[in-house]
Amino acid sequence: MEVGTRIKIARTAKGMTQRELADKLGTPIGTLRNWEQNINCPNIVAMQKIAKALDVKTSDLLDVEWVDAGEWSKPETWAKVEYDEETGVTSHSVAASTREAIESQLKYNTDRLNIEGLGKVNDYSYELVRSEEYEREDK
């Protein structure tokens, strides 16, 4: 199911008209119609406003499933390079969906922080980026 369809379902479940939601968001009704018809997709700021107005989680509108990172929180499990001596083929097995889950969880966490908290996250991530230990090999 697409994002716009989820917005429409959440809006109607809340008993709101398109006009009411558009007014609450400060968005032209035509823009909301385009979102609900999946012609355009709202940006993340608009998604947060929509979720708040409809009293739902942004992740519900995006159909994001949160997972416990567990073992996948370790960078060494994100990508594995395997060499098959018999065939001479090198294969890359990347846990893309897990990486996406971690990135989604980071987004969820940072959405809950005030500006001071975001500044601390930014400072910490800047330090990590400068460290060769955490540098991606595929950049």
Expressed as residue numbers, the domain containing 120 is 70-134
Contact at 8 Å (CB) between 18 and 11? yes
Tell me the pLDDT tens digit for each residue of 76-130.
Answer: 555 555 555 665 554 444 444 466 667 777 787 788 888 888 888 888 888 888 8
**What CATH number corresponds to the domain at position 18?**
1.10.260.40
Tell me the pLDDT tens digit for each residue of 4-54.
Answer: 999 999 999 999 999 999 999 999 999 999 999 999 888 888 899 999 999
In a shared domain, residues 99 and 79: yes
The count of structural domains within the chain is 2
In a shared domain, residues 49 and 93: no
In a shared domain, residues 16 and 45: yes
Q: At a CB cut-off of 8 Å and minimum separation 6, what does 55 contact?
A: 14
In a shared domain, residues 92 and 120: yes
Domain assignment present for residue 50? The answer is: yes
pLDDT band of 65, cuts 50, 70, 90: low
Q: How many CB atoms lie within 10 A of CB 31?
A: 15
Contact at 8 Å (CB) between 38 and 3? yes
Domain assignment present for residue 139? The answer is: no
CA pair distance 31, 27, nearest whole angstrom: 7
In a shared domain, residues 55 and 92: no
CA pair distance 25, 5, nearest whole angstrom: 18
In a shared domain, residues 82 and 100: yes
